[in-house]
Structure 1
Amino acid sequence: MTVFHLRAAGVSLVLDTRGTAASVLHWGPDLGDFDPAAGDLAPAVPPSSIDVPLRLSLLPSLFEGWTGRPAMESGHFRLSEAHCSDNTAEIRSSSPDATREVSTRLELSSSGVLRVRHRLTNRGDDEFVLPNLDVLLPIPAEASELLDFTGLWSHERSPQRAPLRHGIWSRESRHGRPGHDDPFLMVAGEPGFGFRTGRVWAVHLAWSGDKRVWAERSALGYSVLGAGVLLAPGEVRLAPGESYETPWLVAVFSDAGLDGLSDRLHPWIRATSALKRPRPVVLNTWEAVYFDHDLAVLTDLADAAAEVGVERFVLDDGWFTGRRDDKRALGDWFVDDTVWPDGLHPLISRVHERGMEFGLWVEPEMISPGSRLAREHPDWILGGGSGPTWRWQRVLDLTKAYDHLLERLTALLTEYPIAFLKWDHNRDLLTPGAADRQTRALYRLLAALKTAFPHVEIESCASGGARIDLGILPLVDRFWTSDTNDPLDRQSIQRWTGILIPPEYLGGHLGDGVAHVTGRTSALGFRLATALFGSAGIEWNLTEASPAEKADIAAWIAEHKRLRPLLHSGRVVRADSPDPAHLLHGVVAQDRSHAVYALVALGTPAAALPPPIRFPGLDPDRSYTVRPIGVPPRTMQDAPPPWLAAGSITLPGRVLTELGLPAPLLTPEQALLLELS
C-alpha cells in the first residue's frame, strides 16, 4: 500500500494506507508538492499505552487502541485494498473473520469540499444487526473552540459556542427529521474565529432523519469531528449479501473563517444541484387567508399579486376534502368540491391569465386520525397510532403508503398545471426505529416525482425550517427557512443558515406589518430589505395594503429581479461587527465588479457613532461607486454623513474595505441597502 495525497483549492487530504488500517494523516491547509511517503510520520509511543504508535484510522476501534467513540460499536476491520484517482480514494476493509466488509469512499471536490461515506456489506451466512456506522475525521489541536446550532420553532439555527475540552460534545436528533434544534454544522476552529478570520474545520451530515454529530478531544492526543445516522437497536438488519450505505459526511476546511466555508460550499452546491432557472418571486396564501379559501377572495389576491410583479402564486393548506382547520383531513388528497365545485381550475386559470405560475401546499407524510385514509388503512399509521398527536396529526408509514401517495400526487400533478409543491412536514415521528426507513422512503418518493414531473419544483418545509440539509437538497428546489416572517428574527436565521445553503434556495417572505408569529411591528423598508437576498416572496394579504405600500412592494420586486443574477450567483460575505447591534452582510459578484450590502440595525448601538461600514470581499485595486437603494431607513441624526447626503461616493476597494464609510445613525430594526458598482 502507499500514501495518497488529494489536493484541491488550497486543501490537502493525506491518507496513509501502509499499515493494517487506512489513516488520515492530514486534512486541512494545502501541503504543496511533497512526497508524503518519503518518511514515517507515525507518532511517538507514550508511557502507559499500547506498545505501537496509535494511528487514528477511518474506522477507529478499541482493537487498535482508540478509546474514544468508535466508528462502529464492536467493530474491528483490517485494510484489504486501496485505490486513488482523480481526487477520489476507495478503501476496502474486512473483519478478521471476513463476514463484514466496509468500503469507504473519500472525494475532494474542485472547490475543496470533502465527502466521506461507508458502505457495509454482510458477507456472512447469518443476519447482521448494525449497531451504528459513523464517519470520523481528525482535526488539529488548535481547533479548540466549537460552534454548533440549536433552536426552537420559528427560531432555528441559533448559534452556540464553547471550548472543546477533553471528552465528547455530542448532539443527537431523535425527531425523525433534523428538527428546529438541528446542530446543522459542527464547526471547530482556532479560538476567536469569526466570519472573516481564523482557521476552521466543519462537518455536516447530509441526512434528513435521526443523527448524531459530535466533537471529541481525547487525552490520547487526538481530536475528531464525527457524525452518523442515529440508529435504534435492531433498526437495520442485513441479510447475507445485503449492504447498508451511510449518508455523506460533508467536511470543509477554511483558513478565512466562516465565510471561507461558504466560499467552498456554495460553488460546490451550485455545481452539483444546479437550479434550472431564476427563482420566481412567490406569493404564498398562508398568512394572507389561512383556511379561508374562497375563489373570489383568492382571485382578488392573485390580481393584487400580479400587479406588483409576483411570478408564482402558491395556494397553501386548506384546499382538500374536509380541511377547514388543522385538526382534520390530512391524507385525503382530493380537491374539496364543496369549496371548489369546479376544482382548482378557475383559480389556476386566473393565475395563468395574470402571467403567474401556480403552486400547491401538500403534507404527504402525515395523516389525520379522523381522515378517510386513516379509517380505510389504520395499519398505515406509523407506530400504530400510539403516543400523543402533534398538531392533531399522526405520521403515515411511507413504506406502506408509498404507492398510494405516488398515485395521489401523480393524479394531482396530471390533472392540474402545477409548477410547484410546498412539501410540509409538521411533526416529529416519535416512533423508535422508524426514522431510517422513513427517510429513505421519502427520498425515493421525491425522486420518483422528480423523474415523472421534471418541471415541478418542490420546497422542503418542516413546520418551517426543521428539515434543511444536504441530504434532501438534490431532491428539492427551495427551503422554507422558518415559519416566522418577523424580519428581526429572520436576520439571524438567514445569516446562519446561509453559511451552508446558498441564498437562492432560502425562501424569505415579506410579511404583514404586524408579524403573525411574534406580534412585533416592523417598518416596511426593514421587511423588504430582509426578504431581498434569498428566494424572495410575499406572505401578506396585499388586498389590504395601501396604494403607497403596493408601490414600494412593486419597486422592491423590480429591484430584486434586476439584482437577482447577482444575489443568486455571487459570494456571500458577512462582516465581523464589534457591535452586535449592527450587522453587515452582502453578496459580491464572482468577478468582484458588482455588489449589494445591507447594513442592519438590530437594536440600540453601543456608541453614539457606530463603527464605519467596512465592505468585505471587494477588489482592492478597483474603484467602486457606492449608492443607496430601496426604501430609505429611519434615522435619528441631526445630519447624515456627507457621502450619503450627496447620494453616492466613489472610492478604491481597498479604502472601502479597510477604512470604510461613516455609518448613518439608524434607529433599531432598520436596514440600509447599498449597491456598489
Structure 2
Amino acid sequence: MDAGEMTLVVDAAAGQPAHIVYWGRRIAEGQDAADLVRLGSRQHVFGSETQNVRPGLMAEAGRGFAGTAGLSVHRAGRDWGVRLTVVAVKENAGQLVITTRDPDTQIFLQHRFSADAENGILAIAAVLRNEGQDPLTVNHISSICLPVPQHLSDIIGFSGRWAGEFRTERLRRFSGSWLRENRRGRTSHDSFPGVILCEENTGELSGEACAVHLAWSGNHHLRVDTGNSGDVLLSTGALLFPGEAILAPGEEFSSPPAVVGYSANGLSGLSRRLHDHVRSSLLRAGVRSKLRPVHYNSWEAVYFDHDPEQLKAMASKAAEIGVERFVLDDGWFGSRRNDQSGLGDWVVSDEVYPDGLTPLVDHVTGLGMEMGIWFEPEMVNPDSDLYRAHPDWVLQIEGLEQVPFRNQLVLDLSRPEVCDHLFDRIDAILSDHDIRYIKWDMNRDLNHPAGQDGRSRAFDQIQALYDLIDRVRTAHPEVEIESCSSGGGRADFGILAHTDRIWTSDSNDALDRQEIQRGASHFLPLCVTGAHVGPAQCHITGRKLSMAMRAGTAIMGHMGVEMNLLGEPGEDLEELARGIALYKKHRQLIHDGDFYRVDNVTALNIIGVVARDRREALWSVAYMASLPERFPPRFICAGLERSQAYRVRLVWPEDWRSITSPSIVEELDLTGKGAVFSGELLMTVGLQLPTAFPETVLLFHLAEE
C-alpha cells in the first residue's frame, strides 16, 4: 500500500501468519515485493531460535516471540497461546482487510488498513471476535504492532500537565522499552497518545520522521520496544482495566484506529501530512469550508458571577471590536453559583436569568454574532437535583470512597437511560434558543470507572460519549462543538472525528501558549486549536503581558478573546480590534496554508504558514526571553517559490520600532511599503531580525509581487 511518501508491504499468504515486510520511505512502482523478503534474509545465530521468529501484525504469544505481545487473551487461564494465520485478504481502492484465525483457540482477528493517498496517511484498526463456546477475557490488544526502520534513532514524546500541555521530549532510542500509559479515562494532559520517531539529524525541514497516533480519547498505551536483535517495534492501543473486555461467544471488540504518518521532509513535513488528514478526513465539510469566527468566551471575564445586563454590555463591546461568536460559559443553570453545586441540572437558572436565556441570546444574535453555550454533560455535583434523584448513575467502585476531584462525580454514559436524559436536556436548550455552538467540557479524571456490576466502564464510556455527541450533531447539524477537558485534556484525532475545535489549554498566558501551541502543532492544525487573548495578568501564572504579545500569539490559531472587556483600557481594546482585523484578513491563509516550524533558536519561537500556491506567507517570530548573543539571528524562510519575488512587511504590531534605530525595520520600511526580495534569497540568506525586548511577537507577511 502506498500513501504519500510512505509504502507499507504486508506478506499475507493464506495459511501463514501475516507480517509486515517493509514500512517506511516510499518505494518506486515496479519493484518486486518478493525482493524485499530476500533482502531481509537472516541467518541463525548462537543462543537464539534456529528459525527467525517474526512478531507479525499482533506479536501474539503463540508465535514464541520474546517481546511484548500485542494481543493477550485467555479463557479461564487457557487458550492464551494464540497463533493467527491468514484466511482471507481483500484489497480495494486504498482499503486492505487481512482476516486471520487460530482454529485451536477459536479466535478471529481482522486488521483493516486504510490509505489516504492524497494526504499520505494510513489508518490501522483491529477487530477481535470470540469464536469459541466460552467467554474470552481480553487483557490487552494493540491496534497494530508496527516494525520501525532501524535508522530512526530518536523518539519524540509528548507530556505535560494542566495549563502546560503538549511539552515535547526528545531522546535517543535505547535498548529496552519506551512506554507511555494513561489511566485517567480521558486523553490526559500528561500522556498525549502520539509519538514521533526520526533520524538523529532530523530537523523541522529535513530528515525522515514517522508519527503514530491513537485516535482515542480514553485510556491508552503507547510503546517503542528495541530488542537485542536491533529490531524496533512500535505498538499502541486502548488500555484495558482487568475484566473490562470479556467477550461472550460471537462477540467482537474493535480497537481504536492507529493513524500513521511519514515524511522525508522533516518534522514540519510530517505535521503537514497530519494537518491535511484532520482537515480533509475528520472535520465536517461545512465546518471545513467555513471561515473560523473570532470567538469570545465569558469564563475569565465573569467566572460564576453572571449578570444578564453586564453580559449584554460585554457582548456589545465584543461586537464593536470585531468578535463574531459569543460563548456563555459555566454558571447559567440550576444552583451553579460556584463549582460545588448544580452540575448536572441543565435547566436555565431562574435566580440568575428570571426572563430565561432568550433576551441574552436575542441580544447577541441581534449584534450579528453567533451564540454559544457551555455544557459539562458527563459530570454531576453530589449537591444537585440530578444526583439526589439518581445516585446510582455515577461511576464508582462499591465499598470505596470516591476520589475527590473538583467537587464532582462522573456519570456512567454506558447506561442508555443516562445518555437519553443528557440528550433530552441538551436538545431542549438548543431547540428553545438560537444557539450555534457548544463548549463541551470535562473536568475530572475517571479514578473509579466501575459500573453497577463492578466491572470497569472506561472503554465503554468513551464509545458512549462519541455516540452522544453524534446524536446531538445529528439533531442539530448547524451546531459546532468544541472539545474541552480542563484545557487540552481531551485533544486527539478520536474526539476530532466528532467535534469541530479543541480548547488547547486553560492557560491564556501568551508565553506559555507559544510553547503549548508549538507542541500541539505537531499533530493539530491551527484551524482547530483555540487560542484566546486573555487578561493582561494571567490568573494562572500571575504574569503580565502586553496586548501586542497576547493578540499576536492568539492570531496564530483559532483566535478568541477571554477577558472582561468592560474593564480593559481603551488603548488596549483599540489594539485588540486591530489584531482581530489582522486575523480576519489572513485567517484563510492561517487555517488552510502549509504549516512550518523553524528549528528551535535560543529564546525564539518561529512558526509560519505558506499558501498552498506559494503566493503569500505569514510568519510569527516570538522573542521568548533575552537573547544570548548581541544580535538576533537571521530568519531563514521556508516553503516559498525560489524564483518568485515577495514583498516583505512587518504587519504586527503596527508601527513597531526596534530597541535602537535605525533597525532593519526602518531601513527597509517594513511597517510601510516593505521591501521586495526573491524567494531564493529569503530561503538561503534570510532576513536579519531586529533587536526586540523579551515577550515580543512580530508577524511578517510575504506577498508575491
Which of 299, 308, 311 is the matching residue for 1:298? Answer: 311
What is the CA distance between 1:378 and its match in structure 2?
Answer: 0.5
Query: 1:623 offset after TM fit, Å?
Result: 1.0
Distance across 2 between alignment mates of 1:646 and 1:423:
41
Q: Does 1:143 align with 2:169?
A: no
Q: Counterparts of 2:348 and 2:509 in 1: how far apart (Å)?
A: 32
2:677 to 630, 639, 651: 651
Alpha-carbon offset, residue 39 of structure 1: 6.7
| Counterpart check, 1:28 vs 2:24 | yes
In structure 1, the residue matched to 2:471 is: 448
Q: How many residues align?
A: 671
Shift of 1:238: 1.2
Shifted more, 91-100 versus 210-219: the winner is 91-100
Q: Which moved more, 1:645-654 or 1:414-423?
A: 645-654
Partner residue in 2 for 1:3:
none
Q: Using the TM superposition, give the Cα deviation of residue 550 of structure 1 relative to its aligned residue in structure 2, in angstroms.
A: 1.9
Superposed displacement of residue 145, structure 1: 1.1
More displaced, 553-562 or 374-383?
553-562
Q: Secondary structure at the match of 2:33?
A: coil
Corresponding residue number in structure 1 for 2:351: 338
Trace 1:575-586 onto structure 2 (pairs within 5 A).
575-577=598-600, 579-586=601-608
Instruction: Give the aligned partner of residue 494 of structure 1.
Output: 517
TM-score (norm 2): 0.93
Which moves more between the two structures, 628-637 or 542-551? 628-637
- Counterpart-to-counterpart distance in 2, 1:279 and 1:344: 25
Shift of 1:49: 2.1
CA distances 1:49-85 after superposition (whole Å, capped 9, x unpaired) = 2222332311213432321111112333122222223
The answer on whether the counterparts of 2:648 and 2:670 sit within 8 Å (CA) in structure 1 is no
Q: Deviations over 1:105-164 (max 9, x none)?
A: 112211211111100011111111111110211111111111101111100011112211
Residues 72 and 39 of structure 1, relative CA distance in 2, 3 Å threshold: closer
Corresponding residue for residue 406 of structure 1: 423
Instruction: Provide the secondary structure at the position in 2 that maps to 1:266.
Output: helix
Counterpart of 2:534, as a letter, is: G
On the 8 A contact 2:414/2:457 being kept in 1, the answer is no
Q: Partner of 1:568: helix, strand, or coil?
A: helix
CA gap of 1:278–1:638, structure 2 versus 1, over 3 A, is closer
Give how far 1:646 is off: 7.3
**Map of 2:560 onto structure 1:** 537
Bigger shift: residues 641-650 or 190-199? 641-650
8 Å CA contact 1:634, 1:667 repeated in 2 = no
Q: Which deviations, in whole Å up to 9, do the C-alpha atoms of 1:179-224 show, x marking residues without a partner? A: 1102342111111322222211211100000001111101133101
Letter in 2 for 1:669: E
Aligned equivalent of 1:174? 183
**Quick one: distance in 2 between partners of 1:663 and 1:39?**
49
Q: Is the 8 A contact 1:253 1:261 kept in 2?
A: yes
Name the counterpart of 2:75: none
Query: For residues 38 and 308 of structure 1, what CA distance do their matches in structure 2 show?
Result: 64
**Residue 213 of structure 2: aligned partner:** 204
Q: CA deviation at 1:638?
A: 4.1
Q: Helix, strand or coil for the counterpart of 1:346?
A: helix
Q: CA deviation at 1:237?
A: 1.5
Shift of 1:403: 1.0
Matches of 1:150 and 1:234, distance apart in 2: 28
Tell me the equivalent position of 2:481: 458
Paired position in structure 1 for 2:88: 81
**In the aligned structure 2, how far is the partner of 1:106 from the partner of 1:230?**
21
CA separation of 1:262 and 1:39: change in aligned 2, threshold 3 A: closer
1:380 corresponding residue in structure 2: 393
Q: Are the aligned partners of 2:187 and 2:217 in contact in 1 as well (CA < 8 Å)?
A: yes
> Does 1:233 find its partner at 2:242?
yes
Match of 1:164 among 161, 168, 173: 173
Q: How does 1:534-573 map to 2 (within 5 A)?
A: 534-573=557-596
Deviates more, 1:249-258 or 1:58-67: 58-67
Distance in 2, matches of 1:508 and 1:473, equals 17
Correspondence for 2:131: 123
Alpha-carbon distance change, 243 to 660 in structure 1, aligned in 2, over 3 angstroms: same
Partner of 2:327: 314
Query: Is residue 470 from structure 1 mapped to residue 479 from structure 2 by the alignment?
Result: no
Give SS of 2:634's match: coil
Which of 420, 423, 437 lines up with 2:437 in the alignment?
420
Structure 2's unaligned 5+ residue stretches are: 73-79, 450-455
- The aligned amino acid for 1:36 is A
Query: Does structure 1 retain, via aligned residues, the 8 Å contact 2:8–2:22?
Result: yes
- Cα distance in structure 2, aligned partners of 1:354 and 1:62: 64
Alignment equivalent of 1:17, drawn from 8, 12, 21? 12
CA contact (8 A) 1:71 1:132 kept: yes
SS of 1:102's partner is: strand
Contact 1:574/1:616 (8 A) holds in 2: no
Contact 1:61 1:67 in 2 (8 A): no
CA contact (8 A) 2:152 2:199 kept: yes
Q: CA deviation at 1:266?
A: 1.4
Bigger mean CA offset, 217-226 vs 499-508: 217-226
1:363 is matched with 376
How far apart, in 2, do the equivalents of 1:106 and 1:120 lie?
15
Shift of 1:368: 0.3
Q: Does 1:261 align with 2:286?
A: no
Q: Deviations over 1:417-474 (max 9, x none)?
A: 1100000000001015221011111011001111111001100000010000001101
CA distance in 1, matches of 2:5, 2:176: 31
Which of 91, 99, 103 matches 2:110? 103
Partner in structure 1 of residue 453 of structure 2: none
Is 1:68 equivalent to 2:64 in the alignment? Answer: no
Check conservation: 2:294, 2:560, Cα contact below 8 A: yes
Task: State the match for 2:452 in structure 1.
Answer: none
Is 1:437 equivalent to 2:464 in the alignment?
no
Amino acid at match of 2:678: P
SS in 1 for 2:34: coil
Match of 1:605 in 2: 627
CA distance change for structure 1 residues 635 and 62 in 2, over 3 Å: closer, same or farther? same
- Per the alignment, do residues 184 and 604 of structure 1 end up closer, same or farther by CA in structure 2, a change over 3 Å counting? farther
Change (3 A) 1:151 1:532: same
Aligned counterpart, 1:671: 697
Task: Point out the more displaced range, 280-289 or 633-642.
Answer: 633-642
The structural deviation recorded for 1:634 is 6.4
Q: Gapped runs of 5+ residues in structure 1?
A: 1-5
Measure how far apart 1:88 and its partner are.
2.0
**1:593 is aligned to 2:584:** no
Q: Could you tell me the TM-score, scaled by structure 1's length?
A: 0.97
> Counterpart amino acid of 1:554?
A
* Equivalent residues of 1:626, 1:649 under 8 A apart: yes
Question: For each residue in 1:255-278, what CA deviation from the matched residue of structure 2 results, as whole angstroms up to 9, or x when unmatched?
Answer: 122111112111122111232411
SS in 2 for 1:382: coil
Q: Which amino acid aligns with 1:327?
A: Q
Q: 3-state SS of the aligned residue for 2:620?
A: strand
Output the amino acid matched with 2:682.
Answer: L
Paired AA for residue 190 in structure 2: D
Question: In the alignment, which residue of structure 1 is the partner of 2:100?
Answer: 93
**CA pair 235-465 structure 1, distance change in 2 beyond 3 A:** same
Q: State the secondary structure of the residue aligned to 1:556.
A: helix
Runs ≥4 in structure 1, deviation > 3 angstroms?
632-635, 644-647
Structure 2: how far apart are the matches of 1:125 and 1:96?
A: 13
Indicate the percent of aligned positions where both proteins have the same amino acid: 38
Match of 1:186 among 176, 184, 195: 195
SS state of the match for residue 399, structure 1?
Answer: coil
Residues 13-65 of structure 1: CA distance to partner in whole angstroms, max 9, x if unpaired? Answer: 11112372111111111110212125742431322222223323112134323
Distance 1:43 1:221, change over 3 A: farther
Contact 1:182-1:466 at 8 Å conserved across structures:
no
- Tell me how far 1:98 sits from its aligned partner: 5.7
Counterpart residue type for residue 296 of structure 2: L
Q: Which amino acid aligns with 1:88?
A: Q
The answer as to whether partners of 1:149 and 1:183 remain within 8 angstroms in 2 is: yes
Q: What is the aligned counterpart of 2:41 among 40, 43, 55?
A: 43
